[in-house]
Amino acid sequence: MEITEATADDGEEIRDIADRSMAASYAVSPDTIESILEECFNQDRISQLVDSEEATLLVAEDEGHVAGFLEAERDEDTATITWLHVAPEFRGMGAGTGLFETAVDRLHEDGAENVMARDLSDNAEGEGFFEKFGFEEARQDRIEIGGEEHVVELHAETEAEADAEGEDETDSPAQETATTEDGETVYIDRDEELAGESGPFFVAYTDEEREEQYSFYCGNCESLVEAVDSMERVECGTCGNLNKPQEWDGGYL
């Protein structure tokens, strides 16, 4: 997955991804989605964002196709990530993480002392995403889009995370982890994956050395699969993502 600056030619794909992403994840009506698309993702506005020195518009590309995009705006020493959408078929493949981490780094490099991330409260599947990167909810606000008022949650970079920006990292990067229902930490290996109907499953281990497998991690909704059912199918109990037995190597279990 390659993260690059968007161009005006990406406008049509950006609008399509926003449309399908909101339809899949936002608890809003089709009319509301259409209003957001018309106001925020029309071609003229996207072209303006591409040319603006006060805005950042990044895309994640996979084999020539736009998999997701991120928009941010800067106001003096504060930058706010306003939109982050990944096409449903590319979720769980690192597009959202790559876009977010790249954007935060670039915004700091461009002089932003504070980085915030905005999310509409109507986003039913985005809960917990920003917290994974050291952001925490700071406040709620209201914005008007298409003549309709929406509640937004603003997440702020924690002081420890902000201080870490720009430091020389000589140690190995931290491993991605998740927490089980019992409060135990497991380690996610995104290099080992199984195909799922809605997104890949990644192998989760009980140890950092990745010698003892715990279960699987659903790439569609980013939750742990606590068990495999009696038909030896890997099925996410949260979103219903399913991996059929003939599609995976039984050696994982």
Task: Select the more confidently predicted residue: 143 or 51.
Answer: 51
Q: What is the mean pLDDT of residues 45-71?
A: 93
In whole angstroms, how large is the CA radius of gyration of the chain? 19
> Which H or E run includes 215?
strand 213-218
Confidence at residue 172, expressed as pLDDT on a 0 to 100 scale: 47
Average pLDDT (93-105) is 91
The C-alpha atoms of residue 246 and residue 209 are separated, in whole angstroms, by 28
> Which residues on adjacent β-strands are paired with residue 73?
55, 80
The proportion of the chain whose per-residue pLDDT surpasses 90, expressed as a percent, equals 30
Q: Over 90: is that where the pLDDT of 24 sits?
A: no
pLDDT tens digit string along 148-207? 787 888 888 876 455 555 454 444 455 788 888 888 888 988 888 888 888 888 888 998
What is the band of 93 on the pLDDT scale with cuts at 50, 70, 90?
confident
pLDDT at 252 over 60: no
Closest alpha carbon to 228 in 206, 207, 208, 201: 201
Specify the pLDDT at position 170. Answer: 44
* The pLDDT of residue 246 is above 60: no
Q: Averaged over 77-92, what is the pLDDT?
A: 90
Cβ count near 247 (within 10 Å): 14
Whether 245 and 194 have beta carbons less than 8 Å apart is answered as no
Residue-level pLDDT at 247: 39
The model carries a pTM of 0.63
Q: Is the pLDDT of residue 251 over 70?
A: no
Strand order in the sheet with 201-205: 177-179, 185-194, 201-205, 213-218, 223-225
Q: pLDDT tens, 137-150?
A: 888 888 787 677 87
Output DSSP code: residue 10: G
How far is 5 from 149, CA to CA, in rounded Å? 30
DSSP H or E run through 74 = strand 65-75
What's the mean pLDDT when you consider all of the chain? 82
